[in-house]
């Protein structure tokens, strides 16, 4: 019998299992149970395993049993930096790249109100940055002092001006706070260095948060919880994009994950200027970048999508008359687990998903603008140029279970009415129909070649014809 | 203690060569230089100076729009808590043939500690910086002359 791996996602609603045959490099079965992290994680896991066993007609011995988790609110983090666009932004990117859910992001000196808000948010981890190495140390020391005096009990990762770290950790540990020091998120001005902070966040997650959230009660049912689920999705995308020494990947990849509460966008690729004469502006971009749009979710934030996109745009795209839109939205807002029941609800869901994707990719993608100078026009790029992205991967229920996923994903594409937005132009569009990206990301840790083959095999193409409607590509 | 300097070309100005030569000379003279390059908005000088705890900001402008671009620069510094940070400006600061003393006066009135005309040698800037930093340590705003 060939070796198998079991990949587990302790989600907020479900405990999901994927069983993979490592030699054949394919999924042999899936199992699902409820999420029971808030009571006893073992109950949901036992039910999910029973479900998998029933489908497989018995469980194979597993060589690896690896888990990710987004249960119990996910990895809730607060970030603190100095200048909003510099170290504060670098800290945000490190936390998002580590798969965190940001429950607060602060810049400059923390006020009493800020500290009170952080105490109320009660994050799992706080990331404290500020100052380049040898740069400003006053603000990070003041912020450490404010946090030291607070009631905050969570671990603090310090990734700021290295000249200030001794004083920062002294102040924190004197008041009983747990502080871990890593390299600065911005050691030199304009240099982004988020990998050490990302690795530290993951380590604290594995060492402490998994226990704090009660997931390790089921420790005999798996080997390790490796990372938060969004980080596993990012790692899965990274592997599919970059490949392994044995097999090339797909190049540059954009992953769009539309959920009930948020829309996540992951891009893997350098995204640098497409021509040498384009001037790059702003903080350098991470190769693997994740953004989370907390106001764009298909259920918890359906109202916010309508607000952001404009009611008239949603009405036009769904074909629902303006004056009936509120009535059509009401059942979604009342029941966040509701699945579309009739043609009208399907049309509304499609319009909401398209609007969420259009806005989320627009915020993730870079922009290009022409600045007129005395020596002629100059093109200035901010953020990542995604126009040459090779593959767009859609994941999450609203995309995967849609009647026409291509028409929904096409909302991510370049739009002639927004020429400044550097969105994908002619990508291949696929869907993660079996919800495998997290499993690919977990398996990448131990068997990257099998993980890559699995990912490449299970991404299902959807028609690439530009869809109908005004959001579609040229 | 090594002094940190922020350099850059302000506004929609792409003339980078002179600024690059200056930045290299300053580095060679032992300063830590944070070079922002061409096309730098005033706010970015300030943000970089905060994060790097800079001791001086050196603004270059060569396309004749310097006066517009530099308006309120000292106010921005004060607003951002940089207060009395040493501020230099230099280059082709204005359009047309205007007498230098007048141009200099206008930029000093804007809150710059020193203004340098076109053709200034890098050595001159380094001498001024060294003297001004020494004076500041003695509690004066800048060296005379």
State how far residue A377 is from chain B, nearest Cα, in angstroms: 10
Q: B108-139, pLDDT tens digit by residue?
A: 999 999 999 998 999 999 999 999 999 998 87
Contacts of B4 in chain A (CB under 8 A): 134-135
Phi then psi for residue A323, to 5 deg, are -75, -5
**pTM of the shown model:** 0.90
- E-strand spans in A229-326? 253-258, 263-268, 279-281, 288-293
Which chain B residue is nearest to residue A135, measuring alpha carbons? B52
DSSP characters over A369-408:
EEEEETTEEEEEEES---TT-SEEEEESHHHHTSS-HHHH
- Nearest by CB to residue A378, choosing from B4, B14, B54, is B14
Tokens of B84: 């009395």
Q: What is the pLDDT of residue A470?
A: 37
Phi then psi for residue A179, to 5 deg, are -120, 135
Q: What is the pLDDT of residue B145?
A: 56
Collect the ranges in chain A with pLDDT lower than 50: 464-474
Total residue count of chain B as it appears in this document: 145
State how far residue A145 is from chain B, nearest Cα, in angstroms: 19
Q: What is the pLDDT of residue A377?
A: 87
pLDDT band at residue B14 under the 50/70/90 scheme: confident
Asked if A81 and A222 touch (Cβ cutoff 8 Å), the reply is no
pLDDT band at residue B142 under the 50/70/90 scheme: low
Q: A363-413, pLDDT tens digit by residue?
A: 999 999 988 877 788 899 999 999 999 999 999 888 998 889 999 999 999
Which residues are A424's β-sheet partners? Answer: none
Q: B29-52, pLDDT tens digit by residue?
A: 999 999 999 999 999 999 999 999
Tokens of B15: 């003339």
Tokens of A203: 């380590």
Contacts of B51 in chain A (CB under 8 A): 82-83, 86-87, 131-132, 135-136, 186, 189
Q: Do A279 and B63 touch (CB under 8 A)?
A: no
Total residue count of chain A as it appears in this document: 474
State how far residue A292 is from chain B, nearest Cα, in angstroms: 25
Classified as helix, coil or strand, A263 is strand
Which chain B residue is nearest to residue A81, measuring alpha carbons? B51
- E-strand spans in A166-313? 179-181, 224-228, 253-258, 263-268, 279-281, 288-293
- Nearest by CB to residue B13, choosing from A82, A186, A373, is A373
Asked if B86 and B58 touch (Cβ cutoff 8 Å), the reply is no
CA pair distance B33, A245, nearest whole angstrom: 40
Contacts of B12 in chain A (CB under 8 A): 371-374, 378
Contacts of A138 in chain B (CB under 8 A): 53
Which chain A residue is nearest to residue B11, measuring alpha carbons? A373
Q: What is the pLDDT of residue B141?
A: 64
Tokens of A322: 């303006």
pLDDT band at residue B143 under the 50/70/90 scheme: low
Chain B segment 96-135 residues within 8 A of A by beta carbon are none
Q: Do A136 and B47 touch (CB under 8 A)?
A: no
A465 touches chain B (CB under 8 A): no
B13 touches chain A (CB under 8 A): yes
């Amino acid at each position: 019998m060939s070796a198998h791996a079991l990949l587990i996602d302790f989600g907020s609603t479900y405990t999901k299992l994927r069983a993979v045959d490592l030699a054949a490099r394919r999924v042999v079965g899936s199992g699902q149970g409820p999420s029971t992290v808030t009571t006893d994680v073992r109950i949901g896991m036992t039910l999910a395993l029973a479900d998998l066993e029933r489908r497989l007609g018995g469980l194979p011995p597993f060589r690896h049993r690896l888990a990710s988790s987004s249960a119990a609110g996910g990895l809730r983090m607060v970030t603190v930096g100095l200048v909003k666009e510099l170290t504060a932004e670098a800290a945000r990117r490190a936390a998002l790249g580590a798969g965190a859910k940001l429950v607060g992001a602060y810049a400059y000196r923390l006020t009493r109100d800020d500290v009170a808000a952080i105490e109320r948010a009660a994050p799992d981890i706080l990331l404290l940055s500020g100052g380049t190495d040898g740069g400003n140390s006053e603000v990070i020391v003041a912020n450490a002092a404010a946090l030291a005096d607070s009631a905050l009990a969570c671990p603090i990762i310090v990734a700021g001006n290295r000249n200030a770290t001794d004083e920062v950790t002294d102040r924190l540990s004197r008041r009983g706070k747990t502080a871990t020091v890593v390299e600065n998120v911005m050691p030199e001005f304009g240099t982004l260095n988020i990998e050490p902070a990302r690795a530290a966040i993951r380590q604290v997650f594995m060492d402490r948060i998994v226990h704090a959230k009660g997931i390790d009660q089921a420790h005999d049912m798996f080997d390790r919880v490796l990372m938060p689920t969004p980080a596993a999705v990012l790692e899965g995308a990274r592997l599919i994009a970059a490949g392994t020494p044995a097999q090339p990947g797909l190049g540059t990849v954009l992953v769009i994950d539309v959920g009930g509460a948020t829309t996540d966008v992951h891009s893997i690729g350098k995204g640098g200027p497409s021509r040498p004469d384009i001037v790059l502006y702003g903080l350098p971009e991470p190769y693997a970048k994740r953004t989370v749009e907390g106001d764009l979710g298909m259920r918890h934030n359906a109202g916010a999508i309508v607000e952001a996109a404009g009611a008239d745009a949603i009405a036009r795209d769904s074909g629902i008359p303006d004056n009936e839109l509120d009535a059509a939205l009401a059942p979604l807002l009342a029941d966040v687990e509701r699945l579309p029941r009739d043609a009208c609800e399907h049309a509304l869901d499609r319009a909401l998903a398209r609007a969420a994707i259009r806005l989320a990719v627009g915020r993730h993608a870079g922009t290009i603008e022409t600045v007129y100078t005395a020596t002629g026009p100059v093109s200035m790029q901010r953020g990542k140029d995604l126009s040459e992205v090779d593959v767009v991967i859609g994941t999450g229920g609203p995309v995967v279970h849609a009647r026409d996923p291509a028409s929904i994903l096409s909302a991510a594409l370049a739009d002639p009415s927004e020429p400044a937005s550097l969105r994908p132009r002619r990508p291949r569009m696929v869907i993660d129909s079996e919800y495998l990206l997290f499993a690919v990301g977990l398996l990448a840790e131990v068997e990257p070649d099998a993980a890559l083959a699995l990912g490449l095999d299970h991404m299902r193409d959807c028609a690439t014809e530009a869809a109908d409607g005004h959001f579609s590509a040229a | 203690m090594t002094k940190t300097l922020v350099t850059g070309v302000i506004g929609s100005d792409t003339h980078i060569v002179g600024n690059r030569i200056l930045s290299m000379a300053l580095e060679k003279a032992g300063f830590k230089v944070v070079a922002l390059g061409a096309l730098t908005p005033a706010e970015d000088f300030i943000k970089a100076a905060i994060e790097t705890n800079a001791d001086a900001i050196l603004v270059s402008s060569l396309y004749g729009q310097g006066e517009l671009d530099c308006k309120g620069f000292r106010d921005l510094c004060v607003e951002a808590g940089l207060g009395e940070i040493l501020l230099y400006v230099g280059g082709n600061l204005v359009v047309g043939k205007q007498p230098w003393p007048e141009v200099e006066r206008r930029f000093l009135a804007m809150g710059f500690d020193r203004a340098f005309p076109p053709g200034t040698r890098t050595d001159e800037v380094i001498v001024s910086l060294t003297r001004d930093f020494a004076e500041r340590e003695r509690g004066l705003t800048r060296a005379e002359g």
